[in-house]
Amino acid sequence: MRSFVLSFVALGLAAGTAHAQPGAHASAPRLRMGLELGVGLQVGQISCESEGDFCNDFTEAGGLNLNAAYFVNPRLGIALDLWGMSHTEDNFTFTHIVNTVGVKWRPIPILTLSAGVGAAHAQAQYNGVVLATARSEDAFAVMGAASLDVIRARRWALSVEGRFGTGFYGDDNDNNTADVVGRNAGLGAGFTFFGF
């Protein structure tokens, strides 16, 4: 999956560079407003901080995200983002999911910055079967992302995106510090459809 995403990003960058040459368009692209739907693939890692060794071995991961946003003007939108990253080894899969509601801000037409708050949870699977005892409770989560359009058509765009999400699990000691902090970090490519 990593080589697929990296090849996809490289292809997008090469095409985007050619697409941006002077004279490539006779007219400027129209402003993006209204509903946008997106899907993305990432490579990256899941990391964890805790008092014990909860998930220190789970590092390399692949990710998938789905998102929907409504832009009230060309620069500002309200967004729902669903994102999971998984690490698989020896028929065992660990997944950390970060789902948020937030805002998207587009300071320039090809750059979109996202931030959100919501809930995260982790789950373990063995041979594709979810282990009943291995799904965590939901925890408070935050997410941030930045995407740069490299190809833009009339109704869709291909972007390179980096994203980071964190879930804060438990506070058994009542010290206002999470017992376990789970993190997703990914870099990849995204497709966005707009102009509905």
Angstrom distance (rounded) from CA 125 to CA 55: 14
The residue with tokens 């509903």 is 35
User: Would 162 be classed as within a structural domain?
Assistant: yes
CATH of the domain at 85: 2.40.160.20
Position 11 confidence tier, pLDDT thresholds 50, 70, 90: very low
User: Would 28 be classed as within a structural domain?
Assistant: no
User: Would 145 be classed as within a structural domain?
Assistant: yes
User: Would 69 be classed as within a structural domain?
Assistant: yes
Domain carrying residue 106: 2-17+34-194
| Two tokens, residue 31 | 């402003």
Domain count, the chain: 1
Q: Is the pLDDT of residue 188 over 80?
A: yes
| pLDDT tens digits, one per residue of 90-111 | 888 889 999 999 999 999 999 9
The residue with tokens 């282990």 is 131
User: Would 22 be classed as within a structural domain?
Assistant: no
Where are the strands (E) in the chain, listed by range? Answer: 34-50, 60-71, 76-89, 92-108, 111-126, 129-130, 139-152, 156-169, 180-194
User: Would 44 be classed as within a structural domain?
Assistant: yes
Q: What average pLDDT does range 152-169 have in this prediction?
A: 95
Q: What are phi and psi of 187, to 5 degrees?
A: -130, 135
Q: What's the pLDDT score for residue 139?
A: 92
Q: What average pLDDT does range 155-172 have in this prediction?
A: 92
